[in-house]
Structure 1
Amino acid sequence: MSTNHPADALFPALYEGDQDTVVRLLRAGVSAESVDEDGQSALYVAAVSDEPGIVRLLLAAGADPDRLSLGTDAPLCGAACGGHTEVVRALLGAGAGPDTVEAFGFTALVWALRCGHSAVAELLLKAGADPDRPGPSGEVPLVTAARRGSVGCVRALLAHGATARAEAIAEARRLLGVGVEAELRAGLARTHGPGHRAVTRRRGSAEGVTIEVELLNAQGIPFAGDELQTGHAEIIALLTAGTKAAGG
């Protein structure tokens, strides 16, 4: 690919995961704080692309780990949302604030909990993220994790002193009663209107069983979706046992 300036080659290299080219460009004087034509920062692109090696190169070359891409998006939040554990580790190691706030009041911990990434949540909490800091809607982390149905996230929060057990128990019981699939379908109907065809998928992973519901357009192509995990019964047992123990 021909370019008029070395910096023009940086973002193609980021998207391709080409560490050798990134090294060459940084050595040639391309700024680690470069932005693309839309204003996205190089570090943010590498973070959301799950490129820990490139993230470390950019950080070593002077990229600010807390600089908001486009003035709204924190690299740490982008990595946490994607469950990119090694990128999160690299950013925290370079001094990224574990409670850095991006647009609309989101933090990396909120994203990790909403998406059920317990390993990321644990890293953030160990780095000092506030286990009780409310999210954009005012909801505390333990309730967010309980709604997600992520036993791992709940365990991580409890290990770091999270409060609001009663509220989290109530939310987990609500989801257990409603049913995860029904909850997802109802939420999508509220957002996108009723009557859409939908498909439900179940998948298992180290994080537990996840149920995903996608809405389909007239051509049968997914255009919206949401997902939750199914650990609500185990979460209730975990939180109830802790409440009883705390009560004596």
Structure 2
Amino acid sequence: MDEEGPPGLLAAVREGDEDAVVRLLRAGASAETADEDGQTVLYLAAVADTPGIVRLLLAAGADPDRLSGGTDVPLCGAACGGHEQVVRALLAVGAAVDLEEEYGFRALTWAVRLGHAGVVVALLAAGADPDRPGPGGEPPLVAAARRGSPGCVRALLAAGAGAREEALAEARRWVAADVAAELRAGLEAAYGAGPGYRYRVRRFVAEKGAPTVEVTLARDGRVVAGDDRQLGHAAIVTELLGRARRNG
């Protein structure tokens, strides 16, 4: 429910109705409105990739660092979805770039793991630590090498990221791998998939020079889970070796 002010702000944000959000804020609706589960309107707008609404809420006093549901950071939600305009809007009002949410994830962790190079660039420009490990202790550059995103790797290298030998070894491992088969094996291990399950492999391009392979697991026509990886590992090996020669 709305914490204060006229009802309807939650619905307007969920529907992406910018005009209604303007009217409701002017009528006294709180920019800190949250639903019955504690999900804030700012977080909902951030994950829905509605930068206009995000800017309206921030201008009306929404706290960019308030945890949604007690666990989720708006900047992390935007970074996870690759919503660069929302990320930049949050950073412009001083969102804490390295704020951690539940389980120790921060915005850069999500952006690197999911290959959102534009978001990685924005976060690093705002001061994100290029060497701060993720929840499992993995350096960002190694995660970027595993992801197969040359754009993320280049952005991290430009920011001075370390663990370059480890990243090179990781990229080389994936150059030699059957990526679709590896992703399928991971899904099978995680979900115990057996008879009745079906797999679908799809390839598409989200980053130039690094096509993505996606494997989804379905049962009875319903997608149960999925995983994807970019295929820029050879380019990453070349980039890392070139840097090593120039610095050697």
Give the TM-score normalised by the residue count of structure 1: 0.95
Is 2:209 the counterpart of 1:203?
no
Amino acid at match of 2:224: F
Consecutive unaligned residues of structure 1, counting only runs of 5 or more, are: none
Amino acid at match of 2:182: E
- Residue 221 of structure 1 corresponds to 222
- Residue 48 of structure 1 corresponds to 47
Q: CA deviation at 1:194?
A: 4.1
Is the CA contact 1:175–1:183 (under 8 Å) kept in the aligned structure 2?
A: no
Cα separation, 2, equivalents of 1:156 and 1:182:
29
Count residues in correspondence. 243
Cα separation, 2, equivalents of 1:75 and 1:197:
35
Is the CA contact 2:97–2:123 (under 8 Å) kept in the aligned structure 1?
A: yes
- Residue 35 of structure 1 corresponds to 34
Instruction: Report the identity percentage.
Output: 61
- Residue 242 of structure 1 corresponds to 243
RMSD across aligned positions (CA)? 1.4
Is the CA contact 2:141–2:153 (under 8 Å) kept in the aligned structure 1?
A: yes
- Residue 232 of structure 2 corresponds to 231
Cα separation, 1, equivalents of 2:189 and 2:84:
33
Match of 1:222, SS?
Answer: strand
Consecutive unaligned residues of structure 2, counting only runs of 5 or more, are: none
Q: How does 1:1-248 map to 2 (within 5 A)?
A: 7-195=6-194, 196-207=197-208, 208-217=210-219, 219-247=220-248
Match of 1:11, SS?
Answer: helix
Cα deviation, 1:34-74, whole Å, max 9, x if unaligned, reads: 10122100100000010101100100111000111011000
Is the CA contact 2:64–2:90 (under 8 Å) kept in the aligned structure 1?
A: yes
Cα separation, 1, equivalents of 2:62 and 2:83:
19
Cα separation, 2, equivalents of 1:78 and 1:34:
17
Is the CA contact 2:7–2:29 (under 8 Å) kept in the aligned structure 1?
A: no
Cα separation, 2, equivalents of 1:72 and 1:128:
23
Cα deviation, 1:67-88, whole Å, max 9, x if unaligned, reads: 1101100000000000101000
Cα separation, 2, equivalents of 1:70 and 1:224:
24
Cα separation, 2, equivalents of 1:100 and 1:145:
20
Give the TM-score normalised by the residue count of structure 2: 0.95
Cα separation, 2, equivalents of 1:174 and 1:7:
56
Cα separation, 2, equivalents of 1:175 and 1:181:
11
Match of 1:53, SS?
Answer: helix
Cα separation, 2, equivalents of 1:7 and 1:142:
47
Q: CA deviation at 1:6?
A: 5.4
Amino acid at match of 2:229: L
Match of 1:211, SS?
Answer: strand
Is the CA contact 1:113–1:144 (under 8 Å) kept in the aligned structure 2?
A: yes
Is the CA contact 1:13–1:21 (under 8 Å) kept in the aligned structure 2?
A: yes
Match of 1:24, SS?
Answer: helix
